Amino acid sequence: MRRDHRSDMDPETPFARQLAEIASDPAGPRVGAFFDLDGTLVSGFTATAHAGHRIRRRQARIGEVFGVIEASVRYRLGRLEFERLVVRAAGYLRGESLDELDELGEALFRRHIESRVFSAMRDVVTAHQERGHTVVLSSSALTIHAEPVARYLRITDVLCNHFEVDGHGRLTGGIVEPIVWGPGKTDAVRRFGADHGVDLHSSYFYADGDEDIPSMRAVGRPRPVNPRSGLAAEAARRGWPVLLVTGSGRRRLPAWSLRRVGGPR
């Protein structure tokens, strides 16, 4: 796809038109904007920062190291059964203090993840917030990976996976069920909408993964972002607008394109 080199603020650019669509929406919390994390708000897989930290400090056993490599490859190929990954990760951290992991997650975000936040998607989040929309980070990530990004973007509502802890605040090796992934994420979005008076028909869902197709179908305004093959094919069948975005960090260099592939929204 040819990159548009005009200013982002030029009203003729696809990026500006997307922001204009949000600006023209009804104001108020009945419009929801649900954002996936990895590959949507942030380039890559946020969990690798924590895994890399454990490897550098030689806290990771050989099985964990190979597990991280496998997870990273499968994630990029879109072939990962996420339930297996998240349960495995919790098992490696059994006995750790959740408070200490939260502190580490914030430090790793500042060191490794903040520079990978897509600047264009940060602007989309801000546009929804300025309209008073209900903005939600809806991710299969664990709290230690999702919540620092949410704080950075001033997103107060987060749907993600939580470690199970004992009475002393230490990880048991389990994950609170139901696990937020695929149809489970869709269920969480629907429950959130019902509990908070969000009209899903008027709402947006931004994500990149094939596993988020059910959540895309649950809202009136699905917005695939850099979609993987299955989601891209679904977008083509249903005529969903597809957002292609590169550029991250503090630089304002989003290369943004919005295209609609034939058919109704």
The mean pLDDT value for 152-171 works out to 96
Domain regions of the chain by residue span: 14-260
Task: Tell me the fold of 14-260.
Answer: Rossmann fold (3.40.50)
Is the CA virtual torsion 216, 222, 223, 227 positive or negative?
A: positive
Rounded to the nearest 10 degrees, what angle do helices 62-77 and 47-56 cross at?
160
CA–CA gap between residue 36 and residue 34 (Å, rounded): 7
Quick one: pLDDT at residue 257?
A: 43
Confidence of residue 119 (pLDDT cuts 50, 70, 90): very high
pLDDT over 60 (residue 80): no
Residue percentage of the chain with pLDDT more than 70: 73
Quick one: pLDDT at residue 59?
A: 47
Quick one: pLDDT at residue 29?
A: 98
Residues contacting residue 170 through CB under 8 Å, at least 6 positions apart: 95, 96, 97, 98
Residue percentage of the chain with pLDDT more than 90: 59
What does pTM read for this prediction?
0.82
Quick one: pLDDT at residue 256?
A: 42
Residue 17 vs residue 158, higher pLDDT = 158
CA–CA gap between residue 78 and residue 67 (Å, rounded): 16
The mean pLDDT value for 114-123 works out to 93
> pLDDT tens across 184-227, in order?
999 999 999 999 999 999 999 999 999 999 999 999 999 999 99
